[in-house]
Structure 1
Amino acid sequence: MAGTETIIEPLVRSDTPVALVGGGFVGSDDLDWAMSRARLLVAADGGAETIVANGYSPDVVIGDMDSVDPAVLEQIEANRLHHVSEQDTTDFEKCLQRIAAPGVVALGCLGKRLDHSLATLAVTARTGTPCLLIGPQDVAFVAPARLVLDLPSDCRVSLFPLAPVTGRSRGLRWPIDGLELSPMGRLGTSNQATGKVFLECEGIIVLLPRDMRDAAFEGLFAEN
């Protein structure tokens, strides 16, 4: 029937944020850090190799299984493997579509390839699932309508608008009040915190230095 939308049932349900690992860069302590904040661990295809190499076992592996060593899959219980063969979505999107949780902490999904990183950011914005992306140099997330970040003075705060947006801010060296930010116009790159940051602006990606991951986690998941 025309207009019928396929309903995808969640494979993972949690009342706390879930850790998700892709096949890209994962820092030496990233997985331990994520698992101190999440109860469940999901692998996006080749991310299963990183999980096993770090001494963990994924609760679920989701993807088309074309980027993971079969020898690694043999170490994981068969009922945890969920093969999704369609090629219209990335493995990252396949995972987000099947996770029902207040948020996701995603490792290995930024930094390896620019096209993959851009697709990850686009999917994060489109799905609406609060998702903290940990990359080699940055952490990134789509800002909620209201956001508070406990940042040190002079900390880099970059704002990338997904569409023409306006908003309000406190705690930024260059406030955004009265400005229109747009991907084809004025951006919010390389702003700086003067202390705790208060932001009201929907439709933007916030990028912070990687060592601000704790502040980003607390700000993004403050009500979760």
Structure 2
Amino acid sequence: MPQDSSISSSLTFDRPLIVLGGGFVDEALLKTLAARSYPVVAADGAAHVALAAGVPLVAIIGDMDSYDPDPDLSADTQIVEVAEQATTDFEKCLYRTSAPLYICLGMMGKRFDHSLAALHAAQKYGVEKNLILMDQTDVIAVVSGAVEFSVPVGTRVSVYPLAPTQMEYSYGLEYPLNGLTLAQGELIGTSNCANKNQVKIVQDKTAPKPFLLILPNEYLDALIEIETHHVSATSI
């Protein structure tokens, strides 16, 4: 199998990329997404999750401290060993690849420190890359600027700031975000809910910062639509 230890090269994809981590992974969902012809990359030892599910891997990326060579691995799978220890294997997957959208499974759940590290990566790369993370309950889009989406009335909608951020307005939420400054340790927007079918959330345009838009995980396709066709919400 090909091996690449060069830190400068990057794998480029023209479609959404699935990135696997060692946390909770819904195997049925993984197979469904792979059936859409989305390529799959594993962060180090998470390769064994894909192999157990019979899902082919385009690449394994990481410092290779938790991947054990497996005879079932395809010869076409690229091994990208990155020795530096300043970043997590998830970060290595992000900076060694380029894709229009990242659907990240197994970055949340099981170990809380790994979940925190995933949020660190979301803040670090959330402006330059379109990121979606999933666990067994929620789907999380890392967004900035303005977003608009449709969900049934009563759907749980959470907004969580990765950095202090000024919200311009919201529409369709039970508890409006109009004019609020959201910041961890001060004011957050979790456990809100939709009171209209159409929801809009708009940040102050002068300094948009990445924030988490969190929905129940059955709305994955809605967040894929947001991330792949990101259109600013118009003022109401």
Tell me if both proteins adopt one fold, taking TM over 0.5 as the criterion: yes
Amino acid corresponding to residue 106 of structure 2 in structure 1: G
Aligned to 1:4: none
Is 1:179 matched with 2:180? yes
CA RMSD of superposed structures (Å): 2.0
1:9-48 matches, within 5 Å, as 9-10=9-10, 12-48=11-47
Q: Is the 8 Å Cα contact of residues 18 and 38 (structure 1) preserved in structure 2?
A: no
| Post-superposition CA distance 1:135-155 (Å, at most 9, x none) | 111111211312122211111
Aligned to 2:98: 100
Aligned to 2:3: none
The whole-number CA distance in structure 2 between the counterparts of 1:171 and 1:38 is 34
The whole-number CA distance in structure 2 between the counterparts of 1:174 and 1:48 is 42
Aligned to 2:193: 192
Please say which of residues 31-40 and 152-161 is displaced more in the overlay.
31-40
- Over 3 Å counting, the alpha-carbon distance change for 1:171 and 1:51 in structure 2 is same
Q: Is the 8 Å Cα contact of residues 17 and 101 (structure 2) preserved in structure 1?
A: yes
Aligned to 1:81: 79
Q: Is the 8 Å Cα contact of residues 156 and 215 (structure 2) preserved in structure 1?
A: yes
> Structure 1 residue 165: deviation in Å?
1.6
Amino acid corresponding to residue 92 of structure 2 in structure 1: K
1:1-224 matches, within 5 Å, as 8-10=8-10, 12-71=11-70, 75-77=73-75, 80-127=78-125, 128=127, 129-167=129-167, 168-194=169-195, 195-201=197-203, 202-203=208-209, 204-223=211-230
Q: Secondary structure at the match of 1:39?
A: coil
> Structure 1 residue 37: deviation in Å?
4.4
The whole-number CA distance in structure 2 between the counterparts of 1:173 and 1:33 is 33
Amino acid corresponding to residue 190 of structure 1 in structure 2: S
Amino acid corresponding to residue 161 of structure 2 in structure 1: P
| Post-superposition CA distance 1:120-173 (Å, at most 9, x none) | 112122113111101111111211312122211111111111222222211111
How many residues matched? 217
Q: Mind listing any 5+ residue stretches in structure 2 that lack a counterpart?
A: 1-6, 232-236
Q: Is the 8 Å Cα contact of residues 147 and 201 (structure 2) preserved in structure 1?
A: yes
- Over 3 Å counting, the alpha-carbon distance change for 1:38 and 1:172 in structure 2 is farther
Q: Is the 8 Å Cα contact of residues 133 and 140 (structure 1) preserved in structure 2?
A: yes
The whole-number CA distance in structure 1 between the counterparts of 2:158 and 2:35 is 27
Q: Is the 8 Å Cα contact of residues 19 and 105 (structure 1) preserved in structure 2?
A: yes
Q: Is the 8 Å Cα contact of residues 30 and 107 (structure 1) preserved in structure 2?
A: no
The whole-number CA distance in structure 1 between the counterparts of 2:175 and 2:91 is 34
- Over 3 Å counting, the alpha-carbon distance change for 1:223 and 1:143 in structure 2 is closer
Q: Mind listing any 5+ residue stretches in structure 1 that lack a counterpart?
A: 1-6
The whole-number CA distance in structure 2 between the counterparts of 1:93 and 1:77 is 25
TM-score, normalised with respect to structure 1 = 0.89
The whole-number CA distance in structure 1 between the counterparts of 2:101 and 2:92 is 15
Amino acid corresponding to residue 146 of structure 1 in structure 2: A
> Structure 1 residue 53: deviation in Å?
1.0
Amino acid corresponding to residue 147 of structure 2 in structure 1: L
The whole-number CA distance in structure 1 between the counterparts of 2:228 and 2:9 is 24
Q: Is the 8 Å Cα contact of residues 156 and 194 (structure 2) preserved in structure 1?
A: yes
Amino acid corresponding to residue 45 of structure 1 in structure 2: D
Report the identity percentage.
38
